[in-house]
Structure formats: C-alpha cells, structure tokens
C-alpha cells in the first residue's frame, strides 16, 4: 500500500490495496488511513462519489479486495492540529504505557484506566489508541483497537500491532474463541439468574444519548454470571459475555434486578448517590481477565488485570464488614 503524501498542499492519492487489508470495510480503512480527518468528512466524500474504487463509486460498507485501486480526493489530515491538541495529554499517554500487561510482536494488552475513552470522538479529544499511537507510533505504525470498553470500565483491552493479528482475533471473537471475564459489584443480593439471555436493542434518545434496552426485536445477547461474594446490600459477581453487544453486562445486570454500582445510565440513581457520598465515585465494572490462543504460535495465554487503587480500597472496606449504606 502506498503511503500518503507529506506535501503541504493535499493531492489526489491512489492506493493499491494489499492482501493485508483485504476484507476490511472501506469506511473503516479510510478512518485509519486518513488520521485526523473527522468521520463525518470521510462519509461525506464517500457519499458524494469523491472516493472511487477501480474508477467507480462505492458505498461505506464495501469490503476491499486485494488489488483494488482506491482513489482518495485531496483532503487535509490535520496532523499538526492533532499533535497540538495532544500535547497536554502526554503525561496520561506515558501513564498508559505503564499499564501494559502483555506485549508481543502482534498484540498489546493494557489495563485500561477508568475514565479514559478507548478512542477520541464525540467530544473526547483523545483516547487509549491515540495515546499509544503518539508514544509508540515511530515503532508501531499500525496500532488498532481489537475491541472496545466503555469509558468508565477498567481492565483488559487488546490492541493489534499489525493487520494480520487484528483480523485473526476478530475472527476468534466472532466464533467465541476468546474468553472475557469481568468483575462487577452490583446492588442487592444476587441469588438466581446465573444466565441472562435477553435480546438487546440500541436506541438513540432525542438528546443524542445512546441507550440499550431489552427488546423482543433486539439482537440475541447472553451473559453468564457467577456469584463471587455477598456483602451487605451488594454482591460481587463474575460476568462472562457470550455475545458482544453494547453495554451488555450493564443492561443484563439491571434486567436481573441487580444494577451495577455507580452505573449512571442503567443503575439505581438514589443508591449511586449514597455510594458517591461515601467516596465511591466510579462504575464498578472491571475487565478482569482475557484468555485466548495467540494467532501466530497457537499458545494459550491468560492475562489478568489488577484492580485499581479505588476498587482495592472499596474491597478493603467490604472485607472488613464496613457498609456504605
């Protein structure tokens, strides 16, 4: 694949798609290739026919084929502006490097901090992937998120260092060959519902907020829960999502009658206010463990993310029998 021009005046780019990018949607390819260009701009140039595949118009969901000739119109990528905006986040970026749990030639797994988005957008100037690209870009130029975690969720997050790893683990996720284990502290005494099998549907409110609800016409969604410990007014559960829907664990826990502590969208607002007053100020959902077979070596690895200081402090109080409410 040819690289983009470094000239100040943007020019038409012609890119021959290599086998590495075969099968990827053209919109996702352009979002990565044209770093710094807003997604709205990318979808607009596709819709207007300024992006061409083999001299013909295309649609955002077209999947690239090795040998395709891609024409990209003159477009400014805003790289200098992005660098300027990022300068104030360098400390956070280097802190993220300290959270690396595992790394090899194709994969990075980090312990994502709560409160940090996995990528920029929707009012967020930067995220985990932008941070890693900034501090590791000279060495690893093809860093891509393999999956996502909600902004307020902490724990294991996988990033691919090359396209082949990204494609391989995506396929493993699709067929259920990657085990993801979460810990969640929920309101109430969880006794039943070891498996929640409830279809989920995404809705967009008039405010623009995205919310997920259990709905008959939703997508099939299944989460396995296991009680780890009971506390006064709360329960620590292990959650294994068998499907990968947006907000799945959060919605399924609430549907089971035990919403996650600190959940501002699907939780118990009164209970959350009491917990916040007691010093507990974040969503208690942590991606505790990932188990997968490495694509290159077929070796099975298990990676665990330790709890952050705030969650450890919470556990310390709970183990001592101290109650929040």
Active site residues: 150
- Name the one residue in this structure whose structure tokens are 């969503």: 283
C-beta pairs of 120-124 under 8 Å, 24+ apart in sequence: 121/39, 124/151
Q: Are 1 and 21 in contact (CB under 8 A)?
A: yes
Q: Are 119 and 128 in contact (CB under 8 A)?
A: yes
Residue 70: C-alpha distances to residues 12, 14, 83, 140 (Å): 10, 6, 27, 24
For 49, other C-beta atoms within 10 Å of its C-beta total 11
Q: Are 194 and 210 in contact (CB under 8 A)?
A: no
Report d(CA 115, CA 282) in Å as an integer: 8
Q: Are 11 and 26 in contact (CB under 8 A)?
A: no
- How would you label 211-246 residue by residue, b for 16+ Cβ within 10 Å and e otherwise? ebbeeeebeebbbebeeeeebeebbbbebbbeeebe
Q: Are 209 and 168 in contact (CB under 8 A)?
A: no
64's tokens: 């690239």
- Name the one residue in this structure whose structure tokens are 């099975």: 300
Report d(CA 178, CA 170) in Å as an integer: 9
- Three-class SS state of 57: coil
Q: Are 85 and 92 in contact (CB under 8 A)?
A: no
């Amino acid at each position: 694949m040819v690289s983009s021009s470094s000239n100040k005046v943007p020019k038409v780019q012609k890119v021959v798609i290599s086998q590495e990018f075969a099968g990827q949607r053209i919109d996702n390819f352009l979002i990565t290739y044209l770093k710094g260009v807003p997604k709205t701009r990318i979808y607009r140039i596709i819709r207007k026919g300024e992006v061409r595949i083999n001299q013909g118009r295309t649609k955002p969901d077209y999947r690239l084929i090795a040998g395709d000739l891609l024409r990209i119109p003159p477009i400014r990528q805003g790289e200098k502006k992005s660098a300027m905006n990022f300068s104030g986040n360098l400390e956070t970026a280097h802190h993220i490097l300290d959270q690396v749990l595992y790394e090899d030639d194709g994969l990075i797994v980090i312990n994502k901090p709560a409160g940090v988005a996995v990528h920029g957008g929707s009012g967020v100037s930067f995220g985990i992937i932008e941070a890693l690209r900034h501090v590791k870009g000279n060495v690893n130029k093809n860093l891509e998120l393999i999956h996502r975690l909600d902004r307020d969720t902490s724990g294991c997050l996988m990033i691919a260092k090359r396209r082949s790893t990204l494609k391989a683990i995506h396929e493993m996720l699709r067929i259920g060959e990657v085990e993801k284990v979460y810990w969640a502290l929920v309101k109430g005494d969880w006794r039943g519902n070891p498996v929640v099998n409830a279809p989920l549907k995404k809705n967009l409110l008039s405010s623009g907020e995205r919310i997920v609800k259990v709905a008959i016409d939703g997508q099939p969604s299944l989460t396995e829960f296991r009680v780890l410990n009971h506390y006064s007014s709360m329960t620590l559960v292990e959650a294994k999502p068998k499907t990968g829907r947006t907000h799945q664990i959060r919605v399924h826990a609430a549907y089971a009658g035990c919403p996650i502590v600190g959940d501002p969208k699907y939780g118990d607002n009164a209970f959350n206010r009491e917990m916040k007053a007691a010093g507990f100020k974040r969503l208690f959902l942590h991606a505790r463990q990932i188990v997968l077979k490495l694509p290159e070596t077929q070796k099975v690895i298990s990676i665990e993310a330790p709890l952050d200081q705030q969650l450890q402090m919470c556990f310390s109080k709970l183990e001592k029998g101290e109650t929040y409410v």
